Amino acid sequence: MTQGIWRSKKIGVLMGGFSREREISLKSGHAMAEALRQRHYNVDEIDVDLQLIKRLLQQPIDVAVIALHGSYGEDGSMQGLLECLKIPYTGSGVLASAICLDKALTRVLVDLQGITIPEGIVLTRDDDLKSVENQIFRRLPVIVKPNREGSTIGIHVVRKREELKPAVEEALQMDSKVLIEDFIEGTEVTVALFEGRALTPLEVVPHSGFYDFKSKYTPGETEYILPARISTEMTERVQKQCELIFKNLGLKGIARADFIVRQNKKPYFLEINTIPGMMETSLVPKAAKYDGISFEDLVEGLLEGASLKVGS
């Protein structure tokens, strides 16, 4: 796509929304809008609410930059709405977005590609936890997390038997499905992808030992190391796996994949985010900066790839 195609157009940055990640989305949206203003684009910041359709019809935009995280933004819902309104938008399309927010479904599709994932099971609100308790207890420690939440919301490391039920119950309050995975000890690595190209892997070192919501968003709680302290061979292996996932799941624009590398010998895929945090200090911009891509270039590049995906 020719650089500057949206230069004279009205750009709407969609942020906020209805998910538990609303406040994070607002920060991402403000940062992305400011980056585009630095490049002299005509930007309108839109805090998504129930009046969105009315607003878009009365105050049309030419293209949407989606800065919404979690449900109703990252799950294909907003992408579907924009397709219906014929408004080009950034990032992945309806199907790819819906798949990737569903951790259990993503696991199945990634596993089919020959990429290693932690062993795990899925529980629903209709399942009897007691029927699988012994199976889970034999695997402790495990990770319990809502199937369709981001930002490590509702996620717990269960190390003792008595911790399992409360963790599952909390997760089920947030989603109709819960994913319970083996807890893999190793180096936590995240890989940013920009238009299908994997950037330099970044290592995440939470001081608490687990990268939960507090570790992610409290200054000083986590150390970020670039490049990640893994071998050159492992770096290339993880990057190739990320690019394969990006391609085969039909992703577009920017994404971020998370892995645990065990003893520098084996990478375990955890999940992939189609709309990761996009503040200048977020993980994707950190990796991009290390690879020589400024925050403004990153956001402008994302905008340049905006399109309608259905039927294209």
**The tokens of 211 are what?**
């990268």
Give the CA distances from residue 5 to residues 60, 79, 149, 303, 305, in Å, rounded to whole numbers and listed in that order.
Answer: 18, 21, 34, 9, 10
Q: Determine whether 119 is an active site residue.
A: no
Catalytic (active site) residue 273: yes
Which residue, chain included where needed, has tokens 């932690």?
Answer: 118
The span from the first CA to the last CA of the chain, in angstroms, equals 14
Question: Is 203 known to be catalytic?
Answer: no
12, 76, 277, 301: the catalytic one is 277
Q: Is 258 a catalytic residue?
A: yes
Considering the candidates 273, 282, 300, 301, report the single residue annotated as catalytic.
273
Phi, psi of 36, deg, nearest 5: -70, -35
Catalytic annotation, pick one of 72, 217, 224, 290: 217
Question: In this structure, are residues 125 and 174 in contact, taking their beta carbons and an 8 Å threshold?
Answer: no
C-alpha distances in Å from residue 68, one per residue of 16, 72, 94, 142: 6, 8, 14, 29
Active-site residue 256, yes or no?
A: yes
Q: From the candidates 258, 268, 282, 301, which is the catalytic residue?
A: 258
CA distance 137 to 160: 8
Looking at 16, 19, 21, 107, which residue is catalytic? 21
133 is catalytic: no
- For β-strands 42-48 and 10-16, DSSP reports them as parallel
Rounded-to-integer distance, Cα 86 and Cα 57, Å = 11
151 is catalytic: yes
What sign has the CA pseudo-torsion 149, 150, 151, 152? positive
Choice among 102, 181, 212, 271 that is catalytic = 271
Q: Decide if 74 is catalytic.
A: no
Strands 177-182 and 142-146: antiparallel
Query: Annotated active-site positions, please?
Result: 21, 151, 217, 256, 258, 271, 273, 277
